[in-house]
Amino acid sequence: MGLTHTYDVVIVGAGPAGMCAALYTGRSMLKTAVLERGIPGGELLNTEKLDDWIGEKSILGWELAKKFEEHSREFGAEYVTANVTRVTRREDGMFDTVTDGDDVYRSPAVIVTAGGTPVKLGIPGEMEFSGKGVSYCAICDGAFFKQQVIVVIGGGDAAVEEADFLTRYASKVYVIHRRDEFRASRILQERLRANPKVEVLWSTVPEEIVGDGQGLMSGIVLRNVKTDAVRTLDATGCFVFVGFRPNTGIIDAHFDHDDMGYVLTDTTMQTSIKGLFAAGDLRSQLTRQVTTAVGDATTAAIGVEKYLKARAEGGHAIDPHGSGGYAV
């Protein structure tokens, strides 16, 4: 049996969203615990370099993560290394955030910023060259591949749309798809077909990412599933879009979500479970960027502050801006 710890707010996950939420809840003098199973940083730690964090022309992912963590700690947030297994709303409206060590973090509000996980190919070299050629985010990393030959893996909307986008930078984009037709929507397919920089390799699967001997990706081994012919294609980048899964499994009750399982929130980032807020990659939204994650996290933290105030005053305070109210 573990221990029970009491906080004003518990934040699950220490990616950009979690750390930014912690900064704001700490700054609002709320006793804050941030539960993270690994090193704080989230997807920033899978990102080599960023050139779209406003104010920094170029910054390494781990460097920005470190800055976020240090800054958020300034306002008193406590970081705990713990693997959260479930978040349960109790009958009294409090939440129990439970770790795999059976410790309970009890709080009247929780912000879930557990992110999501791009589906991996699971082939040799994929992890070794992650951030050194292999990427799961075109907007984040596309600009690093100017005038280079790259491949995109997948045949869904994400792969087809991002392949088209990546031709802004790359000199040539090969789309590698395991079948002989895309599942992507027709309009995206047509746009791709009209793009002279794109060549589709149908019925082809990636088998291995290979390197240049100096730590960077230099090619990809491909197999045609119809002929079994194997060849190595020279390419310095490989963008993988074979699906993305939001990490929502810890939420221990029904919550409103979109068709893909991403959490729906109101404009204060509150989910359909009162007192449970969400920000970052697991939230249903147009794009998944560091800038949007921290923006949503700011809103969530301020939303929590207002929610707790309303709760302390007996509930039913209405947000003057009409963003859903705080009936607790």
Question: What does the binding site for ligand NAP look like in residue numbers (CB under 6 A)?
Answer: 121, 153-159, 161, 178-179, 183, 205, 241-244, 260
Q: How far is the CB of 160 from ligand NAP (least distance, A)?
A: 8
Give the residue with the Cβ less far from ligand NAP, 134 or 300: 134
Give the residue with the Cβ less far from ligand NAP, 103 or 157: 157
Tell me the C-alpha distance between 151 and 125, whole Å.
15
Tell me the C-alpha distance between 303 and 268, whole Å.
5
Q: How far is the CB of 177 from ligand NAP (least distance, A)?
A: 6
Amino acid at 293: A
Q: State the catalytic residue, choosing from 20, 92, 96, 137.
A: 137
Task: For residue 54, give both structure tokens.
Answer: 């406003």
Q: State the catalytic residue, choosing from 52, 92, 100, 141.
A: 141
* CA distances from residue 196 to 141, 168, 177, 235 in whole angstroms, order as listed: 22, 12, 18, 18
Provide the 3-class DSSP secondary structure of residue 33. strand
Q: How far is the CB of 180 from ligand NAP (least distance, A)?
A: 10
Give the residue with the Cβ less far from ligand NAP, 168 or 316: 168
H-helix or E-strand spanning residue 135:
strand 134-135
Give the residue with the Cβ less far from ligand NAP, 136 or 307: 136
Q: How far is the CB of 72 from ligand NAP (least distance, A)?
A: 31
Q: Which residue is nearest to ligand NAP (CB)?
A: 156
Q: How far is the CB of 168 from ligand NAP (least distance, A)?
A: 16
Give the residue with the Cβ less far from ligand NAP, 162 or 305: 162
Phi, psi of 302 (to 5 degrees): -70, -35
Q: Is 20 a catalytic residue?
A: no
Q: Is 140 a catalytic residue?
A: yes
Q: State the catalytic residue, choosing from 92, 96, 140, 252.
A: 140
* DSSP-assigned letters across all residues of 167-192: TTT-SEEEEE-SSSS--S-HHHHHHH
Tell me the C-alpha distance between 270 and 241, whole Å.
29
Strand partners, 31: none
Strand partners, 117: 245
Which residues are part of the catalytic machinery? 137, 140-141
